[in-house]
Amino acid sequence: MSTPLYKCANCGAIIHRLNLRCGYCNHWNVDPANPQDPPSAASPPARTPPAHSPPAVQAPPPAPAPAPAPAPVAAVAPVVAPVAAPPVAQTPARPAAPSAVEAPKRRLFGSKPEVAPAPPALERRGGAGPSKPSIALSPKSRVLQSVMAQPEASSAWEKGRKSFNSRSAPSGRDEQDSLARIQAVMAVAYWVATSDDEEEMDSDEYDAIVDTFAELLGEDVDEDELESTIAAWDEAIEEDEEAFLEEAVGAIGQGPMRRQALEIATVVAAADDDLSDIEEEALGELATALGFADRESERIIEKALESLEE
């Protein structure tokens, strides 16, 4: 026997019995044969019935996502308290070296000196007075002119003389290099010629050297400027002789002026007809500094000496 079905008096939804609230519109359907009052408890909210279709079945809620695994916690290294370093004795600061605050010295080679009054005779290696004896320079002059006329270095002498005799300082690098070369050639000749003078040479020898350098520099030479240059060489030699020779050789360079430097130094040192043992030793040291082998330097020196005797 089947169970009778009823319809909601309000929305028409099928209900299974009377004295029951409609599951869709919450209407209380009273049974006329056994009327009852609806219960006082709150009823569930009404649902809207679908049109001519059974109520929809709700899908089950999605399963909650699994909780992420806890990240590993790095072990904390124990903190070690730093050990206090023993106190360090404070060293007093050194005063600045005198050379750090002094004005830099001028370049010996490649610049023009400031002409200053000549120092007293006792303070100069030359010790020369204003008067100059007449000295026969013809053999020496002939050899020097021949050396300077060599084609591979004649242009350097011309440029260097022009820069030295100019009233203004050399501006271009080429002018500075040419001036530095001839200054350095004369400087090493001066160093050799004065190597046997323990304190100062006599005035005749000094004047002969000045005259020789004046010949190398030409007729327009300013002798005050030349003597200021020689005074700067004296100071540098007294301060550090090895550094002076090294700087001069570096200014001469690796070109043909190396040979001319050794030839001119030989001529200047032997111009007084007396080449001392100390001067010969200085010539050998100069030749080594210029990069000549012993046999080659001996040939150059001997040839220069023979040229003086011709």
**Exposure of 22 in the CB half-sphere (CA atoms within 13 A):** 21
Mean of the per-residue pLDDT values of the chain: 74
Q: What is the pLDDT of residue 225?
A: 87
Higher per-residue pLDDT: 31 or 116: 31
Q: What is the pLDDT of residue 37?
A: 81
Q: What is the pLDDT of residues 5-17, one digit of tens each?
A: 778 888 888 877 8
- Asked if pLDDT for residue 132 goes beyond 50, the answer is no
Q: What is the pLDDT of residues 198-235, one digit of tens each?
A: 656 678 788 888 888 888 888 788 888 889 999 999 99
- Asked if pLDDT for residue 147 goes beyond 90, the answer is no
Higher per-residue pLDDT: 193 or 39: 193
**Per-residue tokens: 287:** 């030749």
3-state class (DSSP) for residue 248: helix
In degrees, to the nearest 5, what angle opens at C-alpha 123 toward C-alphas 200 and 125?
25
Q: What is the pLDDT of residue 235?
A: 92
Higher per-residue pLDDT: 117 or 264: 264
Please give the share of the chain, as a percent, with pLDDT higher than 90: 23
Q: What is the pLDDT of residue 118?
A: 44
Spell out the long-range contacts of 62-69 with Cβ–Cβ below 8 A and sequence spacing 24 or more.
Answer: none
Q: Which residues pair with 6 in a beta bridge?
A: 15
- Asked if pLDDT for residue 120 goes beyond 50, the answer is no
DSSP for 276-287 reads -HHHHHHHHHHH
pLDDT category at 186 given cuts 50, 70, 90 is: very high
Q: What is the pLDDT of residue 155?
A: 86
Q: What is the pTM of this model?
A: 0.59
- Asked if pLDDT for residue 56 goes beyond 80, the answer is no
Helices in the chain by DSSP H: which ranges? 98-101, 138-148, 151-165, 173-193, 203-217, 223-239, 241-252, 257-270, 277-290, 294-309
Q: What is the pLDDT of residue 62?
A: 56
Q: Give the other-Cβ count within 10 Å of 6's Cβ.
A: 15
Helices in 89-137 by DSSP H: which ranges? 98-101
Q: What is the pLDDT of residue 174?
A: 84
Higher per-residue pLDDT: 84 or 298: 298
Q: What is the pLDDT of residue 309?
A: 83
Q: What is the pLDDT of residue 292?
A: 94
Q: What is the pLDDT of residue 250?
A: 93
| Lowest mean pLDDT segment, chosen from 93-102, 169-178, 184-193 | 93-102
